[in-house]
Structure 1
Amino acid sequence: MMSSANNLSRRGFLAGTGAMLLGNAFGVKASTAEPIIDIHQHVHYAARPDDVLLAHQRAMGITHTILLPAGTPAFGTSTHQGKTNGLQAQCAGNDACYSIAQKYPGEFTFGSNEVPDLSDAVQEIEKYLKLGGKVIGELKFGMDCDSKEMQRIYQLAEAYDVPVLMHWQFQMFNYNFERFPKMLEKYPKVNFIGHAQTWWANIDKDHTDQSVLYPKTKVTPGGLTDRLLSDYPNMFGDMSAGSGLLSMTRDEEHAREFLVRHQDKLLYGSDCDDHIGSGEKCQGTQTIAEIRKLAASKAVERKILYDNAQKLFRI
């Protein structure tokens, strides 16, 4: 019969081996992988099952994921008569994100969201902030970015000291991007995170046709997005989705300088509906690889993949 000390030692060895094998199965080094925070994922994204989401994040090497909920299904102008419910991607709402975060507390946290022009929007968002929500968003609705309904949400973010994540898409979501500096000035205590096509297209000073959502030309520094990141301490950038990846691949020379210039303001996110977590169809993995490729130093890379999000979200 083995001694209790030997039993403990054997159990510890088997537990460690099991964790390593599990990590390897998902493409992750369980004990040695550098931590990565993914600030932008969704539950039921394009009908992806929850277990596949979990496997996808682990395969990418993500150690902590922030789940961004959709609002309640609604059928007014802000959701384009219901056509953009579920964040236009079948994404689930507050309770689904909260439930996964409760099931995997070390790996997932959750945000809070609601359709801004619903009568109980503030109360619904506040309910999940009280439960520990780390962010409001993503706000992806057909409304003016400075409307009274949106400003009620900014005021709530200020009261709870949480960031607000904005999806900017010309003539579709969060209208009048050019007016947003006034909101940054009016709510200096609120940290805003910019995301999506119009946000990333406007890193380029020469981007004048806002209907072009995925420009592929070389970038001239000094676009509105570039200036917002430089001029406002409360403005951050979410590197997720095809638009975030394209902001780097369209002009890698510019991207190298951009990552250095805004190294304290950029946050890795995937916003990826892939099922595998690797390969050419996984845009989240490609974004990690591009950041690692273009970052001027290990310190810059770690800020974007982990440190900035850890600080901003207090993870």
Structure 2
Amino acid sequence: MCQQPNINRREFLAGTGAMLLAGAFAGASQPEPIIDIHQHVHYAARPDAVLIAHQRAMGIAQTILLPAGTAAFGTSTHGGKTNGLQAQCTGNEACFQISQQFPKEFAFGSNEVPDLPDAVQEIEKYLKKGGCVIGELKFGLDCDSKEMQHIYKLAEDYNVPVLMHWQFQMFNFNFERFPKMLEKYPKVNFIGHAQTWWANIDKGHSDQSILYPKTKVTPGGLTDRLLSDYPNMYGDLSAGSGLLSMTRDEEHAKSFLNRHQDKLLYGSDCDDHIGSGEQCQGAQTIAEIRKLAASKAIERKILHDNAKKLFRL
């Protein structure tokens, strides 16, 4: 059902070489630990050994691997076009196996296509093995559908967060109705991620078809309000959308990071192979957080402490 990791000797040596090269330029001092809550196995065909080296090069102490669901061909995967989280990512067993090989560095989530008949059972199987989150839920279903609510209830039963990819007319439909789910499942911690989530930090964001807005931000958008008003709502700063939410208006971002310092989590969601430089989105996001955080305490919360607490790492 899921592809197994393929960490052969040749790939591992190549990946380790990249890690050592990056370390040579990083200096001898040990960096403060960072938790990356959002990475994937076989992301855009990246070899597993290169993933491991990439995370080490970025200075990540612990990484949460988010699996894809089973290959399926219904409406929730757009006829199969978005299998593998639309990025060739592998599933539960692949993430679990890497966590077993490198238990100090990698934790794993659990996932399944929600409208498959055994979705809850498949997710529960890996929660029982130690999965610390459900997701990334990236499927073409209403956010308040019965299939999604079955998963929210499972998260409540196992006391694990749910990470959701919000993308207008593509994944997790009807973002504006999600407050009802936060109210219905107050014991479940939800983590928002992706384009529609981050576009809606802006109160002036009216055209939801614009996924990567670059205008200045007026505080008070739906995302801003959800983080303020609901104790069980968190934000994942990963991907291009998370990085853009800061770089599009750095003055706003400074106040936003300060306002939601206990609710924001660092993630990379990066398919880069090196772990540094302009091509590495994950490294750029770390640098932006460090640049904009008003204090060292806020920086440490976002890069480490909030995730450690939320995921009980």
CA offsets 1:233-261 (integer angstroms, 9 cap, x no match): 00000000000000000000000000000
Distance in 2 between residues matched to 1:152 and 1:195, nearest whole Å = 20
Unaligned runs of 5+ in 2: 1-16
**Correspondence for 1:54 among 30, 40, 52:** 52
Contact 2:69 2:84 in 1 (8 A): yes
CA separation of 1:34 and 1:152: change in aligned 2, threshold 3 A:
same
What residue in structure 2 maps to residue 270 of structure 1? 268
**Correspondence for 1:148 among 146, 149, 160:** 146
TM normalised by structure 2 equals 0.93
**Correspondence for 1:291 among 286, 289, 294:** 289
What residue in structure 2 maps to residue 64 of structure 1? 62
Q: CA deviation at 1:26?
A: 3.9
Distance in 1 between residues matched to 2:145 and 2:121, nearest whole Å = 18
Instruction: Describe the SS at the equivalent of 2:211.
Output: coil
What residue in structure 2 maps to residue 102 of structure 1? 100
What residue in structure 2 maps to residue 182 of structure 1? 180
Distance in 1 between residues matched to 2:71 and 2:28, nearest whole Å = 39
Q: CA deviation at 1:32?
A: 2.2
Distance in 2 between residues matched to 1:207 and 1:109, nearest whole Å = 35
CA separation of 1:153 and 1:30: change in aligned 2, threshold 3 A:
farther
Instruction: Describe the SS at the equivalent of 1:63.
Output: strand
Larger radius of gyration: 1
What residue in structure 2 maps to residue 260 of structure 1? 258
CA offsets 1:185-229 (integer angstroms, 9 cap, x no match): 000000000000000000000000000000000000000000000
What residue in structure 1 maps to residue 137 of structure 2? 139
Distance in 1 between residues matched to 2:19 and 2:39, nearest whole Å = 20
What residue in structure 2 maps to residue 13 of structure 1? none
What residue in structure 2 maps to residue 192 of structure 1? 190
Aligned ranges 1:236-251 → 2 under 5 Å: 236-251=234-249
**RMSD after superposition:** 1.3
CA separation of 1:109 and 1:30: change in aligned 2, threshold 3 A:
farther
Distance in 2 between residues matched to 1:25 and 1:208, nearest whole Å = 46
CA offsets 1:130-175 (integer angstroms, 9 cap, x no match): 0000000000000000000000000000000000000000000000
- The answer as to 2:112 corresponding to 1:114 is yes
Q: CA deviation at 1:33?
A: 1.4
Distance in 2 between residues matched to 1:23 and 1:115, nearest whole Å = 34
Distance in 1 between residues matched to 2:18 and 2:117, nearest whole Å = 46
**Correspondence for 1:217 among 197, 215, 218:** 215
Instruction: Describe the SS at the equivalent of 2:38.
Output: strand
Q: CA deviation at 1:62?
A: 0.5
Contact 1:166 1:195 in 2 (8 A): yes
Contact 1:196 1:244 in 2 (8 A): yes
Contact 1:23 1:29 in 2 (8 A): no
What residue in structure 1 maps to residue 10 of structure 2? none
Aligned length: 295
Distance in 2 between residues matched to 1:173 and 1:233, nearest whole Å = 24
What residue in structure 2 maps to residue 229 of structure 1? 227
CA offsets 1:13-56 (integer angstroms, 9 cap, x no match): xxxxxxxx997544366772100000000000000000000010
Q: CA deviation at 1:311?
A: 0.2
Distance in 1 between residues matched to 2:149 and 2:200, nearest whole Å = 23
What residue in structure 2 maps to residue 85 of structure 1? 83
Q: What residue identity is the alignment partner of 1:77?
A: T
CA separation of 1:54 and 1:29: change in aligned 2, threshold 3 A:
farther
- The answer as to 2:309 corresponding to 1:307 is no
CA separation of 1:260 and 1:23: change in aligned 2, threshold 3 A:
same
Contact 1:26 1:55 in 2 (8 A): no
Distance in 1 between residues matched to 2:298 and 2:240, nearest whole Å = 21
Contact 1:137 1:164 in 2 (8 A): yes
Aligned ranges 1:166-181 → 2 under 5 Å: 166-181=164-179
